[in-house]
Chains A and B, each alone.
Chain A
Amino acid sequence: MAKSHDVRRYPGFMAITILCLVILYAPLLVVAVYSFNASPSITIWEGVSLRWYVDVFTGPESAKFREAAWNSFIIAITAATTATAIATLAATAVLRSGRFRLRTFSLGLISLPLMVPEIVTAVATLIFFNAIAIERGLLTILLAHIAFCIPFAYMPISARMQGIEASYEQAAMDLYATKRQAFTRILMPLMMPGIVSGFLLAFIISLDDFIITNFVKGAGVETLPTAIFGAVKQGIKPNIMAISTLLLLVSIVLVALSWLIGRRDQARGR
């Protein structure tokens, strides 16, 4: 019975799967491989070399990239931290307030930005900053990043929290913990895997955001994605591939970390 419904037996399933995987991963693979190319051409293979990686750190554009990377890193850390804190409090309020109608509504309100086209958010944010006459620069990038990171941080945190029965906090309060103690001693530690995932997700999203950043950044302020874009406009050089590969590596490490935390947690039977 179950077998006849197995999706793997549908004709062409394997072919389509492989096609999808190729479309998804072939470009990444090409970039990664060609970042080790010895040739200054991006299409002709001349042998393995680390020259473009060296170029990223010491070449003529290295100062620009280093500053951009530093900006990106600072913004990602700050935005992810702030967004995670806000998302944690929001999830607590929404899921533990007990008023059900409000809950559905706020859930929609918080997750809606995920579905709004990014360009719309970018324009709206820019108009907002203009309206309040705030000078564009690192601060505006940071504020914008905090705002759009919140729903991303919120998702894993609220998913985690939904799995935590209210009886743990009730047990804590029954054992003379105040509401605040029940939160810090019980709920927070139990939510930690969700909080870490939320933070990592927000960090990656902030790190690689281009559209919104490009709108709200001031002249001369660059993050890594806008710097890369700027460099690409002058023609693609293999050092771009090296940078992209490095970024990819950072993302993979973070995703793996988040997965490992989730798995360790499952193994403990929570």
Chain B
Amino acid sequence: MPQDRDIAIDVRDAVKRYGTFTALKRISLSIRDNEFFTLLGPSGCGKTTLLRMIAGFEEVTEGTIYLYGQEIDRLPPHKRPVNTVFQNYALFPHMDVLENVGFGLEMLGKSRAEARARAGDVLEMVQLSQFASRMPYQLSGGQQQRVALARALAPRPRVLLLDEPLSALDLKLRKAMQVELKHLQRETGITFIFVTHDQEEALTMSDRIAVMSEGELQQLGEAREIYERPRNVFVADFIGDTNLMEVTVDRIAGGRAQCHLGGGHKLTCDAVEGIGAGARVHMSLRPERLFLSARPVEEESLSGTVREMIYIGTDITTVVDLADGPQFTVRSSNSTRGNARVFEPGAKVAVNMEPGAARLLVD
């Protein structure tokens, strides 16, 4: 049983069914105290559902949710010390900014004066002091977003839930808000549970990420772990760009797996528990960990022909057809210091990989 003071939210075997449709299929995860935790997954995978179950807007069909060891899944929303930043902000249209931000404190029984004072402080924290007496419709989207944030932070919740709070903002503002959110989380020490379907956003902001798909938890770990050691095809494919290909494992020796892809190309990579010799599995190769050369530089270089070269500013992406084998995408940084040799379409090249670039996937 979770009694841990270091666990903010503990979801145990949570199932959510809408009629015959199962939106969450027995999810268990622990969110640590003072953590920036992200729920990441494609549209419809159940992120909002899970968040709403923690906030109290959806009942759990089965399972339990603990908040610092206390069972909360039967409590109504107003009895949970958890606040939400809604995706559409849901600012009260008939109250000015200060009243909006002070609302939670007032409902907690604080005097009007006290609520206003604290609301003022929080508005200062999000740099909106000068907008205190504006009505919500007089604010820009980004300002509304920050008011929603201030409103949810003002009552000092133990956990803050954020459902895609940045999705309505333009790219520049979004980047700025990512930094600000991260900063606020550190400053307040409140546990943040952040929902997004943007993997880049998840990687930049999170201490840990839970990758979800179709109501199931696919992988939980730190950003680096998820990116570099994806557990399965879904995670490898969803997070970042990757070359996914089917390989056959020939031999396992000394913690290394020797594999071959079609066309007689051979590759060796770290063995993964649960994958034995003879298995036909997927392999993920991150494009930025591959590099091209005119001649093979190592024994296992793969030779092929450049099909396409795409210039994308910071990077150059090259698509290579292996002889009788699969297609590879290779990305190199567009800098003279890097290994950026540009190969034009039709050129014969060798594809080489850094150690650890290739990874076998369980399913």
For the complex, give the distance between the alpha carbons of A190 and B136 in Å. 14
For the complex, give the distance between the alpha carbons of A178 and B76 in Å. 9
Assuming A181-B107, A268-B135, A270-B137, is B78 touching A173 (CB within 8 A)?
yes
In the complex, which residues of chain B have a beta carbon less than 8 angstroms from the beta carbon of A171? 84, 86, 90-92, 151
Interface centre among A173, A175, A176, A189 (most CB of B within 10 A): A175
Taking the complex as formed, is A186 at the interface, i.e. its CB lies under 8 A from any CB of chain B? yes
For the complex, give the distance between the alpha carbons of A190 and B86 in Å. 19
Q: B90 and A170: CB pair below 8 A? A: yes
Assuming A181-B107, A190-B93, A270-B137, is B77 touching A174 (CB within 8 A)?
yes
- A172 CB contact (under 8 Å) in B88, B103, B137, B155: B103
For the complex, give the distance between the alpha carbons of A171 and B77 in Å. 9
For the complex, give the distance between the alpha carbons of A185 and B99 in Å. 12
B139 smallest CB distance to A (angstroms): 11
Taking the complex as formed, is A259 at the interface, i.e. its CB lies under 8 A from any CB of chain B? no
The number of residues on chain A lying at the interface, defined by a beta carbon within 8 Å of a beta carbon of chain B, is 21
Taking the complex as formed, is A220 at the interface, i.e. its CB lies under 8 A from any CB of chain B? no
Closest to A269 in B: B137
Q: B93 and A174: CB pair below 8 A? A: no
Taking the complex as formed, is A165 at the interface, i.e. its CB lies under 8 A from any CB of chain B? yes
In the complex, which residues of chain A have a beta carbon less than 8 angstroms from the beta carbon of B77? 170, 173-174
Taking the complex as formed, is B206 at the interface, i.e. its CB lies under 8 A from any CB of chain A? no
Q: Mark A146-186, 1 if CB is under 8 A from B, else 0.
A: 00000000000000000001011011111111110100011
In the complex, which residues of chain A have a beta carbon less than 8 angstroms from the beta carbon of B55? 174
Taking the complex as formed, is B311 at the interface, i.e. its CB lies under 8 A from any CB of chain A? no
For the complex, give the distance between the alpha carbons of A186 and B94 in Å. 8
In the complex, which residues of chain B have a beta carbon less than 8 angstroms from the beta carbon of A167? 86, 88, 90
Q: B90 and A165: CB pair below 8 A? A: yes
For the complex, give the distance between the alpha carbons of A176 and B115 in Å. 13
Q: A175 and B94: CB pair below 8 A? A: no
Interface centre among A176, A181, A189, A190 (most CB of B within 10 A): A176
For the complex, give the distance between the alpha carbons of A190 and B107 in Å. 18
In the complex, which residues of chain A have a beta carbon less than 8 angstroms from the beta carbon of B107? 172, 175-177, 181
Taking the complex as formed, is B104 at the interface, i.e. its CB lies under 8 A from any CB of chain A? yes
B115 smallest CB distance to A (angstroms): 11
Closest to B101 in A: A175
Assuming A268-B137, A269-B137, A270-B137, is B90 touching A176 (CB within 8 A)?
no
For the complex, give the distance between the alpha carbons of A232 and B335 in Å. 97
For the complex, give the distance between the alpha carbons of A135 and B39 in Å. 68
In the complex, which residues of chain B have a beta carbon less than 8 angstroms from the beta carbon of A174? 55-57, 77-78, 82-84, 152
Q: Mark A176-219, 1 if CB is under 8 A from B, else 0.
A: 11110100011001100000000000000000000000000000
Q: B88 and A190: CB pair below 8 A? A: no
For the complex, give the distance between the alpha carbons of A268 and B92 in Å. 13
Q: A173 and B90: CB pair below 8 A? A: no
In the complex, which residues of chain B have a beta carbon less than 8 angstroms from the beta carbon of A165? 88, 90
Q: B90 and A175: CB pair below 8 A? A: no
In the complex, which residues of chain A have a beta carbon less than 8 angstroms from the beta carbon of B86? 167, 170-171
Q: A175 and B151: CB pair below 8 A? A: yes
In the complex, which residues of chain B have a beta carbon less than 8 angstroms from the beta carbon of A176? 78, 104, 107-108, 155
For the complex, give the distance between the alpha carbons of A176 and B80 in Å. 8
Interface centre among A168, A170, A174, A270 (most CB of B within 10 A): A174
For the complex, give the distance between the alpha carbons of A178 and B75 in Å. 12
For the complex, give the distance between the alpha carbons of A177 and B57 in Å. 13
In the complex, which residues of chain B have a beta carbon less than 8 angstroms from the beta carbon of A269? 93, 137
In the complex, which residues of chain B have a beta carbon less than 8 angstroms from the beta carbon of A185? 103
Closest to B84 in A: A174
Assuming A181-B107, A268-B135, A270-B137, is B76 touching A173 (CB within 8 A)?
yes
Give chain B's interface residues, CB within 8 Å of chain A.
Answer: 55-57, 76-78, 82-84, 86, 88, 90-94, 103-104, 107-108, 135, 137, 151-152, 155
Q: Can you give 17 A-B contacts (C-beta < 8 A)?
A: A168-B90, A171-B90, A171-B92, A172-B107, A173-B78, A174-B77, A174-B82, A174-B152, A175-B107, A175-B151, A175-B155, A176-B78, A177-B78, A186-B92, A189-B94, A190-B94, A268-B137
Give chain A's interface residues, CB within 8 Å of chain B.
Answer: 165, 167-168, 170-179, 181, 185-186, 189-190, 268-270
11 more contacts with CB within 8 A, not counting A171-B84, A270-B93, are A165-B90, A171-B90, A174-B55, A174-B56, A174-B78, A174-B152, A175-B155, A176-B107, A179-B76, A181-B107, A269-B93
